[in-house]
């Protein structure tokens, strides 16, 4: 049974696109057929993080409008043969995305993949509601700060009321993914603690992704962090999260950077 997963947040820049790519690649490395779908029309990003920006010919809106077939728009990853990307359009108006068009595409993708992962745009407007519209599950990406948590709370309310599942009286399975977590800053009380976030959101935790330079390095060379440096702290956290998405019971840890020799030599200045 295919699962449709939306990666959403309300607040911008919290790590949705990074998480879509990392989770998608992690699931694909376990042998599952995965497609990551970019819903951020006009500000597409996922193709860059996936390193596929120079291979985009057709996009989501072309398929919605019937200009291209789904098979023409799907881009297969160069590194993982069961990982695919359905890119967004950088040039077209986001109003071109229609509810009915999204419904048809998602239904079609369900027949071809095990996981359909939708990278939502920020905000609570049409783009975000369409990205979540046909989801079975949701990853709510949250940074450990008040405004992000509050936006996540709002998005959870929308997942419970504005999705097709909610309208049928069913539930979207929700998971909170805390990203950009800096344990040193949390210890100094400069960030919200994990317990505080979970208390406010009253939603199960999928994982804790540490703040890490490895994420930037990976996205700069167009690779999901779980492919680029599988041993890094954020990659390990994403692998654990992917296993939890598959229903495995994995102990929750707060991953820390493994400090290399140079780091230790240079001490704190390396941060």
Partner 1 sequence: MSATAEPQRQLLRFRGRSFVAFVFSPVVPIMGWLEELDATLARSPGFFAGRPVVLDLSALELSQSAIAHLIASLQERSIRVLGIEGVDEAQLGSGMPPVLTGGRQCSVEDARPKTKAPSGSLLLETPVRSGQSIVFTEGDVTVLGSVGSGAEIVAGGSIHVYGTLRGRAMAGVNGNSSARIYCQKIEAELLAIDGYYQTADEIDGRLRNKPAQAWLDGNIMRITPLN
For the segment 68-87, give every residue that binds partner 1 (CB under 8 A).
Answer: none
104 binds partner 1 (CB under 8 A): no
Q: Specify the residue, 165 or 236, whose C-beta has the smaller distance to ligand ATP.
A: 236
To ligand ATP, the closest distance from the beta carbon of 67 in angstroms equals: 25
Alpha helices in the chain (DSSP H): 16-29, 46-49, 60-64, 70-73, 99-110, 126-133, 146-159, 164-167, 183-187, 194-201, 213-220, 225-228, 233-245, 261-266
For the segment 198-217, give every residue that binds partner 1 (CB under 8 A).
Answer: 199-200, 202
**Residue 194, CA distances (Å) to 74, 120, 243 in order:** 37, 24, 20
> What is the rounded radius of gyration, in angstroms, for the C-alpha atoms of the chain?
18
Binding mask 221-240 for ligand ATP (x = CB under 6 A): -------------x------
- Residue 240 neighbours by CB distance under 10 Å: 21
For the segment 163-182, give every residue that binds partner 1 (CB under 8 A).
Answer: none
Among 86, 122, 191, 235, binds ligand ATP (CB under 6 A): 122
To Mg ion, the closest distance from the beta carbon of 123 in angstroms equals: 11
To Mg ion, the closest distance from the beta carbon of 32 in angstroms equals: 23
- Residue 147 neighbours by CB distance under 10 Å: 11
**Which parts of this chain interact with ligand ATP (CB under 6 A)?**
9, 12-18, 40, 45, 122, 179-180, 209, 211-212, 215-216, 219, 234
């Amino acid at each position: 049974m295919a699962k449709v997963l939306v990666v959403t947040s309300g607040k911008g820049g919290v790590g949705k696109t990074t998480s879509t790519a990392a989770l998608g690649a992690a699931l694909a490395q376990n042998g599952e057929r995965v497609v990551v779908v970019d819903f951020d029309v006009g500000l597409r990003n996922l193709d860059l993080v996936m390193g596929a920006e120079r291979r985009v010919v057709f996009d989501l809106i072309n398929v919605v409008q019937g200009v291209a077939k789904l098979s023409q728009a799907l881009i297969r990853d160069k590194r993982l043969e069961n990982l695919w990307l359905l890119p967004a359009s950088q040039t077209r108006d986001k109003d071109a995305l229609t509810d009915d068009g999204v419904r048809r595409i998602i239904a079609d993708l369900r027949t071809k993949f095990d996981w359909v992962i939708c990278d939502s745009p920020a905000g609570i407007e049409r783009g975000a509601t369409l990205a979540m519209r046909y989801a079975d599950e949701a990853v709510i990406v949250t940074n450990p700060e008040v405004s992000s948590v509050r936006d996540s709370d709002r998005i959870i309310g929308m997942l419970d009321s504005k999705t097709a599942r909610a309208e049928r009286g069913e539930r979207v399975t929700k998971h909170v993914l805390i990203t950009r977590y800096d344990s040193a800053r949390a210890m100094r009380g400069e960030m919200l603690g994990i317990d505080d976030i979970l208390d406010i959101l009253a939603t199960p935790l999928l994982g804790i992704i540490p703040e890490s330079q490895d994420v930037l390095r990976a996205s700069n060379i167009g690779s999901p962090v779980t492919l680029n440096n599988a041993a890094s702290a954020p990659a390990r956290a994403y692998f654990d999260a992917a296993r939890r998405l598959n229903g495995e019971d994995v102990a929750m840890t707060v991953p820390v950077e493994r400090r290399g020799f140079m780091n230790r030599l240079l001490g704190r200045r390396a941060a």
